[in-house]
Amino acid sequence: MKYKFICPIFRIEIRLAIGGKPIGIENCFSAACDTIFKDDGVLDHIIVWVESPDSYNDMVHETIHLTKRIFGLAGIPFNETNDEIIAYYQNYWVRIFWNKMSKNIKEDNENNN
């Protein structure tokens, strides 16, 4: 299951993939965050992958990497002077992703009953 979002602040495409590892995501066990560039070096999107829709802890972990990557692309320091902005921005992605993941859990439960 894949979802696409456009960051409303930085206009970067963000993808959430649940289940089956996407191409290019290697050396990880249950979750990952990766920046994907086109052949010409231009940013295509950032992807967050979690193994299953109930991988809440992994998703939260990966949203820190996502936030750091987005801030880096935007030239915003990722440090203690911005910790409130970092926390609010990470929380935004946690809410967006968990909304999709929890819908998958609900659908799986309905299909299995």
Residue whose tokens read 């967006």: 96
Residue 90 has pLDDT above 70, yes or no: yes
Band the pLDDT of 104: cuts 50, 70, 90: confident
Angle, CA of 31, 37 and 67, to the nearest 5°: 50
Q: Whole-model pTM above 0.95?
A: no
Tally of residues, the chain: 113
Task: Give the rounded percent of residues in the chain with a pLDDT score beyond 70.
Answer: 87
Distance, in Å, from the CA atom of 21 to the CA atom of 101, rounded to the nearest integer, reads: 16
Structure tokens at 54: 């109930």
pLDDT digits (tens, 9 = 90+) for 23-42: 667 667 789 999 999 999 99
pLDDT at 21: 77
